[in-house]
A = this chain, B = another copy of it.
Amino acid sequence: MRLSRSFFPTLKEDPKEAQSPAHKITLKAALIKMLLGGVYSYLPLGFFLLKNIERVIREEMLKCGAQEVLLPALQPVQLWIDSGRDSVIGDIMFRFQDRRGRNLCLGPTHEEVITDLVKGFINSYKQLPIVLFQIQTKFRDEIRPRFGLVRSCEFIMKDAYSFDSNWEGLDKNYKAMFEAYRRIFKRCGLDSLSLQADTGIMGGAESSEFMVLSDSGEDKVNFCKTCNKYFPFSEGDNKCVECGRKSEVKAVLELGHIFKLGTKYSEKLGLYFLDEEGKRLPVIMGCYGIGVSRMVVAVVEKHMEKKGVIFPLEVAPFEVILVSLDSSNSEIVSCAERVYEKLEKKVRILFDDRNKLPAGVKLNDASLIGSPFFIIVGKRFLSEGKIEIEVRREKKKIMVREEEILSVLTKLIKNERKEC
C-alpha cells in the first residue's frame, strides 16, 4: 500500500483531549476519532489493527471448536425480564420503544439472546456440546466514558457461549477457553494475568478474569514481590495471602472474563434437553468474553515508545514501512520503488512514497504507524549503495545491499515470529 494514496491522517500535535498516554497515541496515530463522548470511529489504520486482533481471536476460537454467528444488537426487553436481569442491569442498558410500541434495548451482552436462539433448535443430548461465538458491537449507556476505547458507549466484544449436557463438558470447554485466552493475549504481545473473580451480574459457579497491568486500568490487584504473585485486590491491609507480607497495589485493565454460568439462563429461559434416559434437564452453559476494542488500547499501551508504537508483528497494521527519505533525488526514489515492487507481494508493507516532505515528518509518521520494521532508503544508498533495515524492538540497524533486502528481511521477520 502506498502512503500517498492512504487516508492515514496522523496529527502533528498532541491532542488535548487525550486522557492517558495510550489514548494520546490512538488519537495522534489516527487509529480512532471521537464522534461524541464515548463513541469512536475507526480510521483505516485503526481498522487494520482491529481486524488483526480479531483475526487472532477468531483463529483461537475456531481451534476450540467454536462456530461463528452474528446476533442482533436490538433485543426485546422481555428476554431480560424473563432472565431476571432487567432490574439488576439497570440504566446502563439503552432502552427505547419502537414505533410499534415494542420495548427494545441495545444489547450490552447476549446471554439471553443466545439462550433463546439455541432453545429453538436443541432438544437432545445428542446435539450437545455446542460452542458459539461472535465478534460484535455492544452498547452501554456510560455516564463517564474514559480513556477512549477503554470505557465507551459502543464497543466491540468477542462473546462465546458453550452449551453442555454435563458438568464435565462445561469444565472442558472452560479450560479450553482459558488456554485460548492465554494464547490470544500472548499472540497480541500482552502479558496477561488471570485471577479467579466474582461472578457478579452474570451469575454462575466460577469465573476467571484476564487482565494486563495498565495505566488505563480501572481495576486493581495486589502483587506480592516476595511470592511473585498476583491476587484479588482487597481494601484492607493488602497482606499477601501466602506469605503475609505487605503487597503492592497495581492498576489493571480487564480484557477478558470467562464464566461457568451453569443452568441459570437455561432454567430461566427454558433451554432444556432430554438426556440418554429421556430425562428433561437444563442445558449447562458457560460464557466467555473479550473486550476487543479494549485490546486495541492495551496493545498500544504495552508497545508504545517515545514517538509512537512498535506493534507486535502479528497485529501490526503493516509489518514493514518503507520510507524513501529524499524524494527530490531520482536515484533514491527509483531504488525505493524497486524495493517496494519486490516486497509488496511478500510482506504486509506500507510505502511512504510521499513527495516533498522533510525526513523528520516521514520518520515521525512511521513511528506512529508503528511497524516493527523500517526500511529506509536515504543518502547511504547514494554514497555506499546501502539500504537501512531497522529492527525497532531491538534498536538495531542493519545496512544491506539492494539485492539482499528480501532475504534479510524475510529472515528477520521469521525470527520475530518465533519469539512471539
Contacts and interface: CB of A to CB of B under 8 A. Distances in A.
B68 A44 contact: yes
Contacts of A139: 73-74
Nearest to A102: B36
- The CB with the most chain B CB atoms within 10 A, among A7, A47, A75, A102, is that of A7
Contacts of A203: none
A113 B36 CA distance: 10
Interface stretch (A80-88, A93-101, A211-219, A377-385): A93-101
Interface in A74-120: 74-76, 91, 94-96, 98-100, 102, 106, 113, 116-117, 120
Copies in the complex: 2
A361 interface: no
A257 B43 CA distance: 24
A143 interface: yes
A78 to B, nearest CB: 9
A36 B76 contact: yes
A41 interface: yes
Given A41-B71, A70-B41, A73-B73, A98 B102 contact: no
A41 B107 CA distance: 13
A70 B96 contact: no
A96 B96 contact: yes
A351 to B, nearest CB: 15
20 contacts: A5-B65, A7-B130, A9-B122, A33-B117, A35-B72, A35-B116, A39-B74, A41-B69, A41-B70, A44-B68, A44-B132, A47-B69, A47-B70, A74-B139, A91-B99, A98-B141, A98-B153, A99-B141, A99-B143, A106-B106
The 7 nearest A-B residue pairs measured at CB: A9-B121, A96-B96, A42-B70, A44-B67, A39-B72, A41-B71, A39-B74
